[in-house]
Amino acid sequence: MLKLGVNIDHVATIREARYRGRGKGEPNPVEIALLCEKAGAHGITAHLREDRRHIQDRDVWALRQSVKTRLNMEMANNPEIVDIALKLKPDIICMVPERRAEVTTEGGLDVASNWSAIKETRQKLNDAGIEVSLFISPDPAQVEASARVGSQFIELHTGAFAEAYEIADARTKELQRLIDAANQAHQLGLKVNAGHGLNYQNLTDIYKVPHLVELNIGHSIISRSISVGIKSAVKEMLALMSKYPQ
C-alpha cells in the first residue's frame, strides 16, 4: 500500500499570517493533524525551518505528544535544529535544503557535495533511534551519494515533474528521471518516498514510478480542504493513491 504523509506546514502559514509572534492562534496544526489521521493518513509531516516562518517549536512538541501514526520532521542540517530533533525524537526526519528567500523548498539537497557532514548528522539521528530520509532531485549522483551517506530513505523531489506537467514532452522527461532514480535507489537498498507539487490532477502519472513507499503532500490537500473539509480532502487523495500498483 502506498502511504500518505500529510504536510501541515500551510496550516501554520495561515495561523502565522495573523498571529505571528503571539504564541497562540488559529488554525491549530495539531488539530488538523489529528483530523488527517482520523481520515486515514499514515503520517504527519512538519518542517521546522530555521526562520520559523510557519511551524513553531511548540508545534513540533505538541505533534510529538499527539500524533499516533508517524511523525516526519523536515529539517535543514543545522546544529540548532539537529539538537531539537535529537530531543524530540520524531519517527523519521527528512533532511532538506533551506534558503531564506524561497517561498517553499526549491530543489533537492546536494548530498554529493556535502556527504561527509550529512553522514555525521545521519549517524547521530540513527543512534537516537530516528530514521533518516534525504530530499533529493532525481539525479544519479545524488541517489548514489544518499546511499553512501547511509540514509534509510530518499524522498524524490517531484517539483520539476509538477512544473512540467502541462507540457507533454517535458512531463515525460521528468517522469522518466523519477522512474530511473527510484530504480537506482531500490538497487542500492534505499527506500523511496516522493513529494513536492503533487496534487489531485498529476498524481496518476506517479503510478509509473516504481518502489514508492510514501508520498508527502501538503499544499494541495490543505487547499482542497477549504472547499470540502480536511477529512474529505485526505480521503479523496487516499482514494487516488489506492490505485498505485503493488
Name the nearest CA neighbour of 89 among 106, 67, 111, 118.
67
C-alpha cell at 48: 521546522
**Active-site residues: which are they?**
47, 74, 196
Helix (H) or strand (E) holding 240: helix 230-241
Rounded CA-CA distance 209/5 in Å is 17
C-alpha cell at 20: 505571528
Rounded CA-CA distance 126/122 in Å is 6
Name the nearest CA neighbour of 122 among 103, 94, 156, 142.
94
Kindly give, in sequence order, each residue whose CB lies less than 8 Å from that of residue 91, ignoring residues fewer than 6 positions away: 43, 70, 71, 72, 130, 131
Rounded CA-CA distance 230/36 in Å is 7
Helix (H) or strand (E) holding 71: strand 71-75
Within the chain, how many helices (H) and strands (E) appear? 10, 8
